[in-house]
Amino acid sequence: MIEGLPPDKFAQGVPFVRVARAAGALGLDLADFAERSLLIVGSNGKGTTAAAVAAALQTQRARVGLFTSPHVMSVTERFRLNGAPIALETLQRLSRSVAAASSQRLGAFEHLFLIAALWFQEQACDAIVWEAGIGGRYDCTRLVGARHGALVSLDLEHTALLGDTLELIACDKLDGFAPGALIQCGASCRPSSPPRHKSGVA
């Protein structure tokens, strides 16, 4: 049991507004992560892609942070430094700090995101890979202002929130990045080639 962790995965309202307030109370400058951050968005395969990107970065950077969800065995799996999960004692300490600083009720994902930001700040990470929660436009991970990352895949999901077409869902997810970001797109996210027409008389 993580001390202070909210019971609901997502709270009502726009997540990044209350997360930004809590970050300020914690003394976190989330914009400071921009140059070091890569954001992974998409409908499926985000966690696998994020882990692969983090592993690749470890060959070039000394300290690489990784924030993903969900976990399999322990919530500590969601927070990694050079592949090693956060210590449970550290997680509990940071969770208490987030709970004490939050004037509005956070969702569990938002709470965990703030824990990750605090830990990565403490660890002075050279690079950080963030896996988005839902979409990008209102997701709290957009607060890091990532200028690099990937749109892994697209599917019709959470249509009431993200939109009822793949184009609208793509726009929502891409809005999680900073303007002008360099984004790699998976094969399912690219426009289809126009149909070829045979020449001659039918």
Per-residue pLDDT of 93-132, as tens digits, reads: 999 999 999 988 899 999 999 999 999 999 999 999 999 9
Residue 197 has pLDDT above 50, yes or no: no
Kindly indicate the confidence band of residue 198, based on its pLDDT and cuts at 50, 70 and 90: very low
Question: 161: closest CA among 145, 173, 144, 149?
Answer: 173
Residue 18 has pLDDT above 70, yes or no: yes
Contact between residue 139 and residue 109 where contact means Cβ atoms under 8 Å apart: no
What are residue 65's phi and psi, to 5 degrees?
-95, 150
**Whole-prediction pTM value?**
0.90
**Model pLDDT, residue 191:** 67
**Which amino acid would we find at residue 157?**
E
Contact between residue 115 and residue 79 where contact means Cβ atoms under 8 Å apart: yes
CA distance 78 to 67: 5
pLDDT in tens, 136-177: 898 999 999 999 999 999 888 887 778 888 889 999 999 999
